[in-house]
Amino acid sequence: MTMNRKRFLKNSIATGSILITQQILGETKVMLSSDQFQERISGAKNLTQIYTVLDELKLSYDKIHVVGAWGIGKILSHCAQSIQYSMDGYPEMKSAFFRGTAGSLAFTFFSLRGKMSHGLEEPIPGATELNPNANYSEGSLELQKAIERFSLAKAEELKPHFAYGTLDKEEYENAHLFHIKNHLERVSLVS
């Protein structure tokens, strides 16, 4: 064998060992393409799957492109803020009449469609102002922590939504899922 072939075989075996070890330990991280990212987001059935996509996106964060004035960190922080308010209470509420009529109908419509559409650069009414310069890591960590906290929350601990009114835990998870997916429609990965 030539020296180059020996080195190639040695490096291949070492690389294969690392990949197998990572798979056994569950540490394999794969860079996502823009299409894979959008497929995973649109196909997510729950917040746990969103959490996983955010974790996978860590390897590609420098390729994130967002259409609009909000950067990825602010978008993710906004989504986290909404989840946190569902447990802590929203700072401003629409009227009880609105929540019982238009708000409730809007949520029913979104639920039947399986997706939401709303103003993507509108803050939550009365919400604390978000850092417009937040980066992916900050926003992602905040959203992942909010998802973890929500997953542990009991249904009776949830507060009424500022526009939709009282939601049970499954409805709230769907509202958050629709909200996150709608915001991430503006996100792509560039090569």
Residues 105 and 178 in one domain: yes
Whether 116 contacts 178, CB under 8 Å:
yes
Residues 77 and 102 in one domain: yes
Residues 1 and 81 in one domain: no
Give the span between the Cα atoms of 73 and 37, in whole angstroms: 17
Query: What average pLDDT does the segment 111-118 reach?
Result: 94
Q: Over the stretch 59-76, which tens digit does the pLDDT of each residue have?
A: 888 899 999 999 999 999
Range of the domain at 37: 31-189
Q: How many domains does the chain have?
A: 2
* Residue 9 pLDDT exceeds 80: no
Say which DSSP state 99 is in. Answer: I
Residues 12 and 44 in one domain: no
Residues 2 and 22 in one domain: yes
Phi, then psi, of 186 in degrees rounded to 5: -85, 0
Whether 107 contacts 179, CB under 8 Å:
no
State residue 31's pLDDT score: 75
